[in-house]
Amino acid sequence: MKQFSLTLLAIIGFAIIAQARILTAANNGDWATASTWSPAVVPNNNDTVVVPQGKTVSITNNQNMNNEYMLLRVMGKLAFVGNGSKLKVNGSSAVLVYPGGMIDASSNSQSISIGNTDVLKGNDIAGGSTGYMATSTSNGFQKFNFNTLPVRFVAFTATRHSGDVLLQWTTAQEVNAFSFEVEASTDGRNWVALATIKAAGTTSLEQNYSFLARNSGAGSIQFRIKQIDLDGKFMYTAARIVKGSGEAGEIKVAASAGRVVLQFGQEVKGATVRILGLNGQVLQEQKLGTAIGQVLVPTTQKGICLVAVVTENEVAAAQKVLL
């Protein structure tokens, strides 16, 4: 594995524009209106944007994000309204239309561009039994079976250790996977490859990977994983931002595929993880020894729950999640 220093890039003085997020349409509304989304912000740098089933998001003007990576997942309806309504995203982005999802466009002035490639111009795309996917290398939208995604990520975390950053990711499925490339950036736009990790290939068993990015500096930095298939096709994870060394130490809580995903920014001893119902009843409890970085807690609980991390008599973190 390579050692890498981002000191030179830090000296250049790039600023972190925004933290990578997952934005989900909570209401029918305009793409550029914050109240359309949860959390209530307009889609931006490195976001994964989800239009869920039953929701309609309208693009009414030119949304130019050509310098920014974005993953757009359409399960409801993305509607282009009015002449000249366009969506332009970075060449490494992807647009996925799931079964039941739809992109509604009726004029050649309404388009989606990924990099320099127009993948949609004035025609509807409706996700059938297999759905559709578009990238900068595809000739428009191509049929794609979402049940056979080459790699299914369960978790991806980045944790600071003084001047180093520990990256950990877990996959639940791999099909013809060749490698994982670790990339870093100080501005969310210019990315540098740090290392290449060999993938398991084809497996239905859970796989755990890690990489220590040494000498990453004391400032904020973003990381992402580029997953490459045997045929050369690739996809990116959402980026993870690691705050400066003076800002580290928080505990982050999320949920993914029957697991609670915890990220410890610093070493914690003797913590207890509790999953509670909305009525306060403890549904599951697990004691941890020494925790740092990514910790996965398997669970059979379903629905909206509260996850609490307790250290001694203090609630160190609490987050409502959907399991």
Residue 121: closest CA among 134, 130, 129: 134
Structure tokens at 133: 């996917």
* Fold exhibited by the domain 152-242: Immunoglobulin-like (2.60.40)
Residue 7 confidence (pLDDT): 31
Three-state DSSP at 102 gives: strand
pLDDT digits (tens, 9 = 90+) for 210-226: 998 887 766 778 899 99
Give me the mean pLDDT over the 142-146 stretch.
Answer: 67
Residue 316: closest CA among 276, 262, 280, 277: 262
- What DSSP element (H or E) covers 79? strand 77-80
Residue 16 confidence (pLDDT): 30
Identical fold for domains 152-242 and 251-322, yes or no, is yes
Q: Is the pTM of this model over 0.75?
A: no
Alpha carbon separation from 36 to 26, 111, 149 (Å, rounded): 6, 21, 29
Alpha carbon separation from 32 to 23, 35, 50, 65, 117 (Å, rounded): 12, 9, 14, 12, 23
Q: Residue ranges of the domains in the chain?
A: 22-143, 152-242, 251-322
Residue 21 confidence (pLDDT): 67
pLDDT digits (tens, 9 = 90+) for 2-60: 333 333 232 222 223 334 467 889 999 999 999 999 888 898 866 778 898 889 999 99
User: Of the CATH numbers 3.40.50.720, 2.40.10.10, 1.10.10.10, 2.60.40.3080, which one belongs to the domain with range 251-322?
Assistant: 2.60.40.3080
